[in-house]
């Protein structure tokens, strides 16, 4: 959907700097191209109908031609049955208005893909097949082993990543999106470790996706074990690690989400990630602009807090008309983190955000937790799309965050008039999205005690299911992460809280 920000001809220049996420190039016939700065690893069969060769770039390697060069006789070519293109893709290729998509017609993410990728962006791992019952790609160590074997044979960073890095004039950050509760967590941790050796202190953000909803107990145990490893190993290497669930425990009534459809659940995650990082893609001089490094400094807040939670709320822009002006003068920067004499440590505004993307951990130990504990906010970045607040209120919030003598949490607010575009490939999961073509989004990224409560719940389960050889280092590491989120008023009894 990022291509919807493009402007052409006499249209007003987009506030988004397209060069950040797209790269210029030339096709084989010399035509100028603009393709995503993306490197996608996936298993055999996971790309669906997406091929490395497309309308911009011809076939990279013809298997038949390669075979003939290596063998003088007639080659015997064995091909698997090709996946048929979706009607949506067929219409796009023919330049026709595509039909409406539904969970029944979407099989792979390529069924609703709207952009051409450079052939080097697509890397299919032949060693494992999607949804294989014989060789499932589920255990964290499996991902580690796969990376080690491939990297030893090919030097993955040199072959795959370096060509993209060499094209960047001013590299701001690298974002990695991975599932964290299966073997991809182990693959990503190893990849990130190698990348750190090459890139040093370059910002590296990891979005760890976790499957929400109910599942069999044995699968829950395996996923918690994988999550424990991902939190410990990835967060120690990443500049920022943000866990995202596929299915929040509680959804507001304006969301109609099909939990069985990855098209639906990934759309909610996309909305969260894209809105939260919008300030990093705005052009220089644009209101609400920021950088990954600045956000990291804010959220760490003189500590070592690298794990954050994401919350958001979504509205039809028409619902915001008049609201921002009505809320003006509620906040005064001179109060140093206090509003009307009340501490902001609880961040009452975040309680109004009705979508919590932080994954929840099932209670597998039988212990009773205290679910109603107050959440303390250390730092928070607010990314607002649409006029959720007046400019005066935004200014006051940001002035207060720069007050060295302030007693409350550090909160920065970045507001942009650029709304979230609802394209025809985006599912109708919002009631207003069926009518409105654009959505107003209020997203926050926070370092809070809730992060520690969740990690403690993971650590308790991991201590009972992880093998003794790994248990001590892993669990001690998780406890060490939690200690970064402990405030002065917290007592040791908090470790008994469940998330």
Summarize pLDDT for 448-470 with one digit per residue, the tens.
999 999 999 999 999 999 988 88
Give the model confidence (pLDDT) of 25-56 as tens digits: 888 778 888 999 999 999 999 999 998 777 67
Mean pLDDT across the stretch 203-228?
A: 96
What is the per-residue pLDDT for 352?
A: 80
Tell me the percentage of the chain whose pLDDT exceeds 70: 83
What is the per-residue pLDDT for 58?
A: 66
Residue of higher predicted confidence among 115 and 67: 115
Residue 331 contacts residue 339 (beta carbons within 8 Å): yes
pTM of the model: 0.89
Which of 5-19, 55-69, 358-372 is most confident?
A: 5-19
CA distance 449 to 373: 10
What is the per-residue pLDDT for 61?
A: 52
Outline which parts of the chain fall under CATH 3.40.50: 137-496
What is the per-residue pLDDT for 493?
A: 43
CA distance 235 to 238: 5
Contacts of 304 (CB under 8 A, 6+ apart): 484
What is the per-residue pLDDT for 4?
A: 81
DSSP per-residue letters across 12-49 = PPPSB-GGGTEEEEE-TTS-EEEEE---EEEEETTTTT
What is the per-residue pLDDT for 5?
A: 80
Q: Helix, strand, or coil here: 56?
A: coil
Number of CB atoms found within 10 A of residue 173's CB: 18
Give the model confidence (pLDDT) of 177-213 as tens digits: 999 999 999 999 999 999 998 888 899 999 999 999 9
What is the per-residue pLDDT for 494?
A: 46
Give the model confidence (pLDDT) of 345-382 as tens digits: 455 455 689 999 999 987 665 555 555 578 899 999 99
Report the topology of domain 137-496.
Answer: Rossmann fold (3.40.50)
Contacts of 357 (CB under 8 A, 6+ apart): 244, 245, 248, 268, 269, 272, 309, 310, 311, 312
pLDDT at 139 over 60: yes
């Amino acid at each position: 959907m990022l291509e919807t920000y493009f402007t052409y001809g006499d249209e007003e220049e987009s506030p988004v700097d397209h060069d950040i996420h797209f790269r210029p190039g030339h096709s084989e016939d010399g035509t100028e191209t603009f393709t995503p700065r993306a490197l996608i690893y996936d298993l055999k069969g996971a790309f669906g109908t997406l091929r490395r060769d497309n309308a911009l770039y011809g076939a990279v390697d013809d298997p038949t031609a390669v075979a003939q060069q290596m063998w003088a006789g007639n080659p015997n070519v064995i091909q698997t049955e090709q996946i048929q293109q979706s009607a949506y893709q067929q219409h796009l290729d023919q330049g026709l208005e595509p039909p409406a998509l539904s969970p029944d017609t979407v099989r792979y993410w390529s069924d609703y893909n709207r952009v051409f990728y450079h052939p080097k962006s697509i890397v299919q791992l032949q060693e494992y097949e999607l949804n294989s019952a014989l060789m499932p790609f589920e255990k964290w160590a499996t991902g580690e082993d796969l990376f080690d074997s491939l990297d030893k044979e090919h030097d993955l960073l040199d072959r795959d990543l370096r060509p993209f890095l060499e094209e960047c004039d001013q590299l701001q950050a690298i974002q990695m999106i991975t599932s964290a509760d299966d073997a991809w967590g182990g693959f990503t941790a190893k990849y990130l470790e190698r990348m750190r050796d090459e890139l040093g202190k370059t910002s590296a953000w990891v979005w760890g996706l976790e499957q929400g909803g109910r599942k069999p107990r044995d699968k829950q145990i395996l996923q918690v074990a994988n999550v424990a490893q991902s939190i410990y190993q990835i967060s120690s290497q990443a500049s920022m690690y943000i866990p995202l669930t596929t299915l929040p425990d509680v959804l507001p009534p304006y969301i109609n989400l099909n939990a069985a459809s990855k098209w639906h659940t990934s759309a909610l995650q996309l909305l969260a990630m894209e809105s939260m990082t919008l300030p990093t893609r705005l052009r220089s001089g644009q209101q609400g602009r920021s950088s990954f490094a600045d956000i990291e400094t804010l959220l760490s807040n003189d500590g070592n807090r690298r794990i954050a939670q994401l919350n958001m709320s979504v509205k039809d822009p028409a619902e915001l008309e008049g609201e921002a002006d009505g809320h003006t003068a509620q906040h005064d920067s001179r109060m140093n983190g206090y509003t009307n004499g009340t501490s902001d440590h609880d961040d009452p505004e975040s309680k109004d955000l009705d979508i919590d993307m932080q994954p929840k951990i099932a209670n597998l130990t039988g212990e009773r937790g205290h679910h109603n504990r107050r959440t303390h906010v250390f730092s928070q970045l607010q990314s607002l799309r649409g006029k959720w607040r007046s400019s005066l209120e935004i200014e006051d919030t940001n002035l207060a965050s720069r007050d060295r003598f302030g007693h409350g949490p550090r909160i920065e607010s970045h507001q942009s008039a650029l709304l979230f575009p609802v394209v025809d490939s985006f599912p109708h999961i919002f009631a207003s999205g069926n009518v409105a073509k654009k959505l107003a989004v209020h997203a926050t990224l926070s370092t809070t005690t809730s992060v520690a409560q969740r990690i403690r719940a993971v650590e308790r389960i991991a201590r009972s299911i992880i093998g003794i050889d790994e248990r001590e280092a892993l669990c001690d590491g998780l406890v060490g992460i939690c200690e970064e989120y402990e405030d002065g008023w917290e007592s040791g009894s908090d470790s008994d809280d469940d998330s």
